[in-house]
Amino acid sequence: MNTRVVLAEDDDDLREVLAETLTAEGYDVAAVSDGLEARRLLRDHPAPDLLIIDLRMPSLTGWELRLEQRSDPELEGIPVIAMSADRSAQAAAIDADAFLAKPFTVAAFLDLVRAVLARVERERARTKRLLVADRMSSLGMLAAGVGHEINNPLAYVLWNLDYVADALRSDARREAELPKINEAIQEARQGTQRIRTIVARLRAFSVASGGPPSAASLERVLREAIAITAHEVRFRGVLHEHLDALPTVRGDETQLVQLFVNLLVNAAQALDGAPERHEIHVLAAVEDERWVRVEVRDTGLGIAPEHLPKIFHPFFSTKRGYGSGLGLAICRDVVESAGGEISADSRPGDTRFVVRLRRAVG
């Protein structure tokens, strides 16, 4: 798909030249003459990859359009190039990815567009690499538990197959024990299906995904995350699920599973002592017509007050000797890329992470 650009410029001649230039470069351009029309185009689906705005436009100025865009979680991530004949420091200081003072050459304009889009693409690629690295780190940490989960059904598959093989060696025994043989075969099939399910979950979790946020089943996301972390949680505390009837939400399903895997693993690792003395709660419910709220709570030692403001910073970790410090930073990026919010509150015996996700539209 071509890069989509919204160009808002009230000067007819300049708008035509810039639109033709961008189109010749292979961009998919929607050119408009005022801020109101640009605002409407921003809300189209899919959203544009770049917004180019003149600061002085009728109906809705570039300043006003930029303020509206920044306040809308669905639109704030769209990169912006601002243009203006006003060469004052105030105009150049607009919160945009780049500022271009008029008059300018077509070559300078194109160079700036390419530079902004290349920078955005590098940042997206970096985020994707961090997501994959964190997912692989989680898989490595969960590997021992997964081995245990697979060994249990594998053991009774092998036991039942041995029993069937032994029973089939004798015609007389085969006739007498045919019902038990059938039962053993069914148990073996169930065991192999269980292994298949575990491997499928891990495979889905390990596959990188990308692209714009779409509609994800929140209930499926939470149940997958709970299933993947079951072994890690089971030997540290008791998990309680409180999942109301949940709607679909905005976000990439694989990334949302990764988000809640990270939160559940962190909650489990915060528990110290006999498992029966500790609890992890996953509470999810519709908050209103726009938002769904998910809480992950644990009864662990808690997060020190001086550390709480830093926990979402990249590479900050309180886990001595292990942990990359990327887990919660990636959680924040996943939530914010879907237009949501994440926060944390902690005291000894009660730590909670609150994730608010936007309900999917349509």
Residue scoring higher pLDDT (164 or 196): 164
Q: How far apart are CA 248 and CA 239, in angstroms?
A: 23
Lowest mean pLDDT, pick from 111-115, 143-147, 299-303, 343-347: 143-147
Per-residue pLDDT, averaged over 26-42, amounts to: 88
Lowest mean pLDDT, pick from 96-105, 157-166, 192-201: 192-201
Res 140 pLDDT > 70: no
Name the pLDDT band for 322 (thresholds 50, 70, 90): very low
Q: Write down the H helix ranges in the chain.
A: 12-24, 35-42, 62-71, 89-92, 106-167, 171-176, 178-206, 218-228, 230-234, 253-269, 327-337
Q: Which DSSP string corresponds to 44-94?
A: SSSPPSEEEEESS-SSS-HHHHHHHHHH-TTTTTS-EEEEES--SHHHHTS
Q: What is the pLDDT of residues 210-262, one digit of tens each?
A: 555 578 899 999 998 898 888 788 888 999 999 878 999 998 888 898 889 88
Q: Mean pLDDT of all residues in the chain?
A: 80
Name the pLDDT band for 345 (thresholds 50, 70, 90): very high
Angle between helices 218-228 and 253-269 (to 10 degrees): 40
Name the pLDDT band for 321 (thresholds 50, 70, 90): very low
Q: How far apart are CA 354 and CA 218, in angstroms?
A: 15
Q: Give the neighbor-by-neighbor strand order of the sheet with 238-243.
A: 238-243, 279-286, 291-298, 350-358, 341-347
Lowest mean pLDDT, pick from 5-9, 10-14, 109-113, 252-256: 252-256
Q: What is the pLDDT of residue 191?
A: 73
Lowest mean pLDDT, pick from 30-34, 113-117, 287-291, 328-332: 328-332
> Which residues share a beta bridge with 238?
279
Place of tokens 């290349």: 118
- Residue 212: both structure tokens together: 């714009």
Per-residue pLDDT, averaged over 298-312, amounts to: 87
Q: What domains are there in the chain, each with its CATH number?
A: 4-104 (3.40.50.2300), 209-362 (3.30.565.10)
Q: What is the pLDDT of residue 318?
A: 64
pTM for the whole structure? 0.53
The 8-class DSSP code of residue 352 comes to E
Question: Element (H or E) spanning 215, and its range?
Answer: strand 215-217
How many percent of the chain have pLDDT more than 90? 23
Per-residue pLDDT, averaged over 183-188, amounts to: 78
Residue among 25, 226, 197, 234 at smallest CA distance from 114: 25
> Which residues share a beta bridge with 293?
285, 356
Res 138 pLDDT > 90: no
Q: How far apart are CA 340 and CA 358, in angstroms?
A: 6
Q: At residue 147, what is the residue type?
A: G
Name the pLDDT band for 273 (thresholds 50, 70, 90): confident
Q: What is the pLDDT of residues 152-180, one digit of tens each?
A: 677 767 777 777 777 777 666 666 677 87
CA distances (Å), origin 239, targets 9, 92, 236, 276, 283: 56, 53, 9, 10, 11
Q: Phi-psi category of 104—alpha, beta or left, where left has phi over 0 and alpha has psi -120 to 50? A: beta
Q: What is the pLDDT of residue 123?
A: 76
Residue scoring higher pLDDT (103 or 162): 103
Q: What is the pLDDT of residue 350?
A: 92
Res 353 pLDDT > 90: yes
Is the peptide bond prior to 46 cis by the omega test (within 30 degrees of 0)?
yes
Per-residue pLDDT, averaged over 113-132, amounts to: 78
Q: What is the pLDDT of residue 134?
A: 64
Name the pLDDT band for 23 (thresholds 50, 70, 90): very high
